[in-house]
Amino acid sequence: MRYISTRGAAPSLGFDEVLLTGLASDGGLYLPQSWPQFDAETLRDLRDLPYAELAIRIMSPFVKGSSFEKEFPDLVRAAYAGFNHPAVTPLVQLDSHLWLLELFHGPTFAFKDVALQLLGRLLNSALQTRKERATVIGATSGDTGSAAIEACRDRDSLDVFILYPHGRVSDVQRRQMTTVASANIHVLAIDGTFDDCQDLVKALFNDEEFRRMAQPTAVNSINWARIMAQIVYYFAAALALGAPDKPVSFSVPTGNFGNVFAAYAARRMGLPIERLIIGSNSNDVLPRFFEHGTLSATEVVPTLSPSMDIQVSSNFERFLFDLWEQNGTALADAMTEFKRGQRLSVAANAAALARNQFLAFGFNDQQTVEQIRKWYKNTGILLDPHSAIAVAAATKAQTKTPCIALATAHPAKFPAAIKQAIDFTPSLPHGLAEIMTKPERFTRLAGQLDIVRAHILKHLSQPVDKKRMAV
Ligand SMILES: *Cc1c(COP(=O)(O)O)cnc(C)c1O
Per-residue pLDDT of the chain (471 residues; tens, 9 = 90+): 999 999 999 999 999 999 988 789 899 999 999 999 999 999 999 999 999 999 999 999 999 999 988 999 999 999 999 999 999 999 999 999 999 999 999 999 999 999 999 999 999 999 999 999 999 999 988 788 999 999 999 999 999 999 999 998 888 889 999 999 999 999 999 999 888 998 899 899 889 999 999 999 888 888 999 999 999 999 999 999 999 999 999 999 999 999 999 999 999 999 999 999 999 999 999 999 999 999 998 888 999 999 999 888 889 999 999 999 999 999 999 999 998 988 999 999 999 999 999 999 999 999 999 999 999 999 999 999 999 999 999 999 999 999 999 999 999 999 999 999 999 988 888 888 999 999 999 999 999 999 999 999 999 986 433 332 322
Yes or no: say if 262 and 234 are a contact pair by the CB < 8 Å rule.
yes
Residue nearest to atom 8 of ligand 1 (CA): 256
How far away, in angstroms, is 399 Cα from ligand 1 center? 23
How far away, in angstroms, is 65 Cα from ligand 1 center? 31
Q: Angle of helix 316-323 relative to helix 258-268, nearest 10 degrees?
A: 40
According to the model, what pLDDT value does residue 198 have?
Answer: 87
How far away, in angstroms, is 421 Cα from ligand 1 center? 21
| Most ligand 1 atoms within 8 A of CB, residue of 101, 104, 307, 384 to mutate | 307
What is the position in ligand 1's atom list of the atom closest to the CA of 384? 13
Please name the amino acid found at residue 145. G
Please check whether residue 354 lies inside any domain of the structure: yes
DSSP 409: B
According to the model, what pLDDT value does residue 221 have?
Answer: 82
Please name the amino acid found at residue 107. P
Please check whether residue 315 lies inside any domain of the structure: yes
Alpha helices in 157-207 (DSSP H): 171-178, 194-205
Q: Which residues line ligand 1 (CB under 6 A)?
A: 110-112, 143, 221, 253-259, 307-308, 386, 408-409
Overall number of domains in the chain: 1
According to the model, what pLDDT value does residue 443 have?
Answer: 97
Q: Give the Cβ contact number of residue 12 at 10 Å.
A: 13
Specify whether 246 is catalytic: no
Please check whether residue 244 lies inside any domain of the structure: yes
CA 124/CA 55 separation, integer angstroms: 19
Residue nearest to atom 4 of ligand 1 (CA): 255
Please check whether residue 361 lies inside any domain of the structure: yes
Q: What is the domain extent for residue 319?
A: 91-107+225-422
Please check whether residue 303 lies inside any domain of the structure: yes
Q: Assign 278 to helix, strand or coil.
A: strand
Q: Which long-range contacts (CB under 8 A, 24 or more apart) does 74-80 make?
A: 75/118, 75/121, 75/122, 75/125, 76/52, 76/118, 77/52, 78/121, 79/52, 79/117, 79/118, 79/121, 79/229, 80/51, 80/52, 80/55, 80/117, 80/118
How far away, in angstroms, is 338 Cα from ligand 1 center? 23
Q: Which residue is catalytic, options 64, 70, 112, 339?
A: 112
According to the model, what pLDDT value does residue 465 have?
Answer: 37
CA 337/CA 335 separation, integer angstroms: 5
Residue nearest to atom 14 of ligand 1 (CA): 307
According to the model, what pLDDT value does residue 464 have?
Answer: 36
CA 60/CA 79 separation, integer angstroms: 15
Please check whether residue 191 lies inside any domain of the structure: no
Residue 240: which CATH number?
3.40.50.1100
